[in-house]
Amino acid sequence: MKKKVLIIPSWYVSHRQDMAGSFFREQAILVKDDFDLKLVYFKYKPCTAFFFFFVKTLYKLRLAYLLKNIFYQKEEIDDEINTHFFTIYTCPNINKDRNNWFLKWQVQQVIDTFFLAENWKPDLIHAHCTFYAGIFANIVATKYHIPYIITEHHGPFFAHEYGKHTFFEAKKTIENANVICAVSRHQARIILMHNFLCKPIIIGNYVNETHYQKKINTQKTTKPINILTVGNRLPLKDSETFVLAIKTLLENGYDVQATVIGGLQENENLQNCGYYQKATALGIAHKFNILGKVNKGNMPKHYAEADIFVSTSVAESFGVSVCEALLMEIPTIAVSNGGIDDIKLENSNNCFLVPIQNPLKIAQIVQEILNGTKHFAPKPQRDYIIEQFGTKAFKKIITNLYLQEA
């Protein structure tokens, strides 16, 4: 009989956006034939303070079971993974600790009903990220006496931002877990810096090499040189350094064009994009192509159209986009920011690391690449990523993890 595994991600793909949380889904697909897998994802929906206090009153009166049909609403079943989406309510108008109690209470109601409806109970729970999937896993595991694993992916792991009560909840969750996995040594250090008593094991992240083949030679002879980056609105992505590097290259006479994936929310005005704002202030906005959100299936095309890939993030838990660029054998420049250091093959001639917030160094390396003074051997770097994080390697990691914990 196959071992039963419940997967709880902290965020997940949807029909509208197939990038966020896609690696949770891809990891599950890797081992779906070897285990009895079910994935439960909780989608947040805002509610009023009145609704919160109404529910809490019923809870105190032991009448909360009357609301079971409100909380147990299954939606959007994934074709490849046995996936269940549930809506839970979050109240932004109350303090964080009260709202967190509300979320946890709802999760318990949904899981109780889910196990009964499916006539199924897992042998193991795998939560992706402590906030909040890990905390939810701890609640379920405690009640049903089920071992659980947490894989921590989240780069800005700032436990204090979630409220005092939730900080201690996170500490208890991590210290009670059977296994804590981290996607890099950098991520493990961040967890341990919170004085949580655990021993994280480093497993990396899954990168599907079949999606990112060697860049096709398009025989591109026309300028400008296309420099690609993948970012978002967080200051951690350091859009200013990227824009300043482009400005330096233009000032030095290089005909470059910047392509930015991310940096904008869906249907958001271009004026709100940090990359565009900084480029406009420097008078070089015409040299920027801001794509915003891009479907995952289109990413290989954008990598293939790039001449150089640049990542300016000051911190990364892993660095999936850097891995993808290197799998495409594109010359890649990245800040030495923690997670990236686990990806780079020692003495790699296709991945160049620079200090944080150093646009001049980035521009210098781009110039050396374009001038031909940097010599490339991209295949060893690609082979290293496949060996460490590719399909065969990562399936073995996850399979062993699930078989050992039960």
Q: Report pLDDT digits (tens) over 171-216.
A: 999 999 999 999 999 999 989 988 899 999 999 999 999 999 876 5
Give me the phi and psi of 229, to 5 degrees please.
Answer: -140, 155
Strand partners, 310: 333
Return d(Cα 113, Cα 298) in angstroms, integer.
Answer: 39
Reduce the DSSP state of residue 151 to 3 states and report it: strand
- The answer to whether 326 and 276 are in contact (CB under 8 A) is no
Q: Are residues 20 and 59 in the same domain?
A: yes
Q: Are residues 102 and 151 in the same domain?
A: yes
Q: Are residues 20 and 47 in the same domain?
A: yes
Q: Are residues 198 and 234 in the same domain?
A: no
- Beta-carbon neighbour count of residue 372 at 10 Å? 8
Return d(Cα 397, Cα 392) in angstroms, integer.
Answer: 9
> Which pLDDT score, from 0 to 100, does residue 98 have?
84
Reduce the DSSP state of residue 9 to 3 states and report it: strand
> Which pLDDT score, from 0 to 100, does residue 344 have?
80
**For the residues 19-44, what does the mean pLDDT come to?**
87
Q: Report pLDDT digits (tens) over 257-301.
A: 999 998 776 667 778 888 999 999 999 999 999 998 888 889 999
Share of the chain above pLDDT 90, in %: 54
> Which pLDDT score, from 0 to 100, does residue 74 have?
58
Q: How far is residue 280 from each of residues 213, 242, 247, 266, 285, measured CA to CA in Å? A: 35, 13, 11, 21, 5
* Least confident span in 20-29, 244-253, 371-380: 20-29
Q: Report pLDDT digits (tens) over 30-40.
A: 999 999 999 99
Give residue 84's domain range: 4-206+390-404
Residues 6+ apart with CB under 8 A from 86: 40, 41, 42, 43, 71, 72, 73, 74, 75, 110, 114
Q: Are residues 193 and 283 in the same domain?
A: no
Identify residue 404 by its one-letter amino acid code.
Q
Q: 237, 264, 255, 359: which is closest to 307 by C-alpha?
A: 255
Q: Are residues 56 and 90 in the same domain?
A: yes
Q: Are residues 68 and 181 in the same domain?
A: yes
Sheet with 74-75, side-by-side order of all strands: 74-75, 83-90, 36-46, 4-9, 124-128, 148-152, 179-182, 201-202
Q: Report pLDDT digits (tens) over 113-127.
A: 889 889 999 999 999
- The residue with greater pLDDT, 372 or 215, is 372
CATH number of domain containing 248: 3.40.50.2000
> Which pLDDT score, from 0 to 100, does residue 73 have?
57
DSSP for 304-350, written as a single string: HH-SEEEE--S-BSS-HHHHHHHHTT--EEEE--BTHHHHSPTT-SS
DSSP for 155-187, written as a single string: SS--GGGG-HHHHHHHHHHHHH-SEEEESSHHH
Structural domain includes residue 73: yes
Structural domain includes residue 216: no
Query: pLDDT averaged over the chain?
Result: 87
- The answer to whether 312 and 241 are in contact (CB under 8 A) is yes
Reduce the DSSP state of residue 90 to 3 states and report it: strand
Q: Report pLDDT digits (tens) over 313-347.
A: 999 999 999 999 999 999 999 999 888 888 887 77
Reduce the DSSP state of residue 113 to 3 states and report it: helix
User: CA 275, 204, 338 angle in degrees (round to 5)?
Assistant: 50
For residue 255, pLDDT beyond 70: yes
> Which pLDDT score, from 0 to 100, does residue 156 have?
57
Q: Report pLDDT digits (tens) over 127-158.
A: 999 988 999 999 999 999 999 999 998 765 66
Q: Are residues 240 and 200 in the same domain?
A: no
Instruction: Provide the number of structural domains found in the chain.
Output: 2
Structural domain includes residue 181: yes
Q: Are residues 134 and 269 in the same domain?
A: no
Structural domain includes residue 215: no
Beta strands in 96-167 (DSSP E): 124-128, 148-152
Sheet with 225-231, side-by-side order of all strands: 288-292, 256-262, 225-231, 308-311, 332-335, 351-354
Q: Report pLDDT digits (tens) over 60-69.
A: 766 655 566 5
Q: Are residues 89 and 199 in the same domain?
A: yes
Structural domain includes residue 214: no
Q: Are residues 190 and 230 in the same domain?
A: no
> Which pLDDT score, from 0 to 100, does residue 387 have?
94
> Which pLDDT score, from 0 to 100, does residue 406 have?
56
Q: Are residues 303 and 248 in the same domain?
A: yes
